[in-house]
A and B are shown apart, each in its own frame.
Chain A
Amino acid sequence: MRLVSSLPYLLVPLFLLGIPAYGALKGIDVYACFIEGASDGLKVVTRIAPAMIAMFLAVGLLRDSGALDILAHAVGPATAKLGVRPDHIMLALLRPLSGSGSLGFLASILKELGPDTFDGKLASVIQGASDTSLYVLALYFGSVNASSMRHSAIAAFMANMVGFAAAILACRIIFR
């Protein structure tokens, strides 16, 4: 497990040394390439920023008004048995619908509970181990003019549920 968790520390310097060096060897304009990619990246940020504001606003109102506390009180006993908070369930429900929305929600969870607590780690795993299924399906099938998605939506939804359960299980095994 130590090897796996130290992976990013090895990968980051490796990527920063290796990829530009390979590009330079292949004779491409590494600097211009980086600038082009980085500007695409910034466009992504400007695309997610409004969604972050919308999400922080809605989540901030729900949290500070005490609405989440009421919800937590209502479903708390049931979810406590699974070892998760209502926040986690909301995150799992939000994740397939909106990547930027769930990222904003994750940020507010981590800010509230701390990124290094069990609950913060579980929320990170839920976010990291899943994708914006609905967006991917709509985009992919839409791009080829498909008349339906056949079994794709159901299969992807069920796979997400399995992923959510596996996230809880993996966190309980590794972090407790």
Chain B
Amino acid sequence: MSRIWLLMLHLGTILAIIMKGTGSVTNIALSSTKEAIQVCIGLAGSIALWSGIAKIAEESGLMSRLADFVRPLISPLFPSISPRSRAIGYMATSMAANLLGLGSAATPFGLRAMEELAAEAQRSPGKRISRESRLRISTRHREPTDAMCTFAIITASSLTLVPTTVLSLRAELGSIDPGSVIGATILATTCSTGAAILFDRLLSTGGRWR
């Protein structure tokens, strides 16, 4: 991130001096940072609102009921772990939160799921986990299991049903129809999630291990 930013900043500043004169840099800097804060103030309200509602859903147990609903859909993705595994519940909750665009709620559950997967792999070493992880099971830093990779790749590829942040940004910037992008977003994210599952299966060495 630092390198990209530095490159953009320096390239922009030097070009602005050459093309628009030294004085332009001050104006651009002041107006662009002011714009940034204006956008943030507009966003703050809706982010706070949804975090508040999400917290109620979490505390009331609605989130975990949602997880039960999604459970049969996601357990086939993780053939190496038991469908009764506790990790499934955390993974389902994290994915459900991601689907609704509640990224800040998804991350804590996702991390719990990874812990649970790691604990289960250690309880049954050598059982349907990759050759690499068998060899290194005794060392402190272990190779991640197939289920851990699958879950991380799916999460990283993004799961979206309602891109809430993008929608509130669009509304904030004066869109007459902020929701118009939802259909295309769902289509694109479905493709990328499908590709993530496919690439995971193709590249995972543990998948072929018997």
Contact = CB atoms under 8 A, between A and B. Distances in A.
Contact of B32 (A34, A36, A61, A121): A61
Nearest to B43: A45
Nearest to A96: B156
Contacts of B188: 125-126, 129, 163, 166-167, 169-170
Contacts, number: 368
Contact of A129 (B115, B174, B192): B192
B35 A115 contact: no
Interface residues of A, number: 106
Interface in B49-101: 49-57, 59-62, 98
B156 A128 contact: no
Given A38-B52, A62-B11, A159-B196, A11 B162 contact: yes
Contact of A4 (B12, B16, B153, B186): B186
Contacts of B49: 38, 41
Nearest to A105: B8
A151 B59 contact: no
A65 to B, nearest CB: 3
Contacts of A57: 9, 29, 32-33, 36
Nearest to B161: A7
Interface of B: 1, 4-5, 8-9, 11-13, 15-16, 18-20, 24-25, 28-29, 31-33, 35-37, 39-40, 43-44, 47-57, 59-62, 98, 103-104, 107, 110-111, 114-115, 117-118, 130, 132, 136, 139-144, 148-149, 151-153, 155-158, 160, 162-163, 165-167, 169-170, 173-196, 199-200, 203-205
Contacts of B36: 49, 52-53, 55-57, 104, 107
A30 B104 contact: no
A116 B153 contact: no
A70 B16 CA distance: 12
Contacts of A137: 152, 156
B197 to A, nearest CB: 9
Contacts of A126: 188
Contact of A150 (B143, B184, B191, B194): B143
Given A56-B36, A130-B189, A143-B111, A151 B195 contact: no
A139 to B, nearest CB: 7
Contact of A106 (B1, B5, B169): B169
A61 B9 contact: yes
Given A20-B56, A41-B49, A64-B24, A128 B104 contact: no
A8 B28 contact: no
A75 interface: no
